[in-house]
């Protein structure tokens, strides 16, 4: 029996900096109020990481609060992924 095999359906959560990279690629004109949060997210791996003494949860929540004008399928998918981390 191969115990090293991972069960089907289990995946490692994507690091927040990877999500931030994707957002930067897809959302070409990031709202000025969302930009500081996105920049901070580029320095985070997990939701528990702090950036300049700001909790990661506050950074992600701040981004979501200021990203209301970002719409579309990709925006919905990525925002849902970020909300699931909160």
| pLDDT tens digits for range 9-53 | 667 889 999 999 999 999 999 999 999 999 999 999 999 999 999
- Backbone torsions φ then ψ of 54, nearest 5 degrees: -100, 125
pTM for the model: 0.86
**Does 48 fall in a domain?**
yes
Q: What pLDDT sits at residue 78?
A: 97
Domain that holds residue 43: 16-85
**Does 75 fall in a domain?**
yes
Termini Cα distance of the chain: 37
The CA–CA distances, whole Å, from 28 to 23, 24, 35, 65, 75 equal: 8, 6, 11, 18, 12
> Is residue 77 predicted with pLDDT exceeding 80?
yes
Confidence category of residue 1, pLDDT binned at 50, 70, 90: very low
Give the separation between CA 81 and CA 76, rounded to whole angstroms: 9
**Does 9 fall in a domain?**
no
Number of domains in the chain: 1
Please give the distance of CA 9 from its chain centroid, rounded to a whole number. 21
């Amino acid at each position: 029996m191969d115990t090293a095999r991972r069960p089907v359906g289990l995946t490692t959560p994507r690091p927040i900096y990877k999500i931030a990279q994707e957002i930067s690629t897809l959302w070409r004109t990031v709202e000025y109020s969302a930009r500081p949060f996105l920049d901070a997210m580029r320095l985070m791996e997990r939701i528990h990481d702090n950036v300049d003494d700001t909790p990661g949860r506050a950074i992600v929540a701040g981004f979501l609060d200021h990203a209301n004008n970002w719409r579309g399928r990709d925006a919905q998918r990525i925002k849902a992924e970020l909300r699931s981390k909160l």
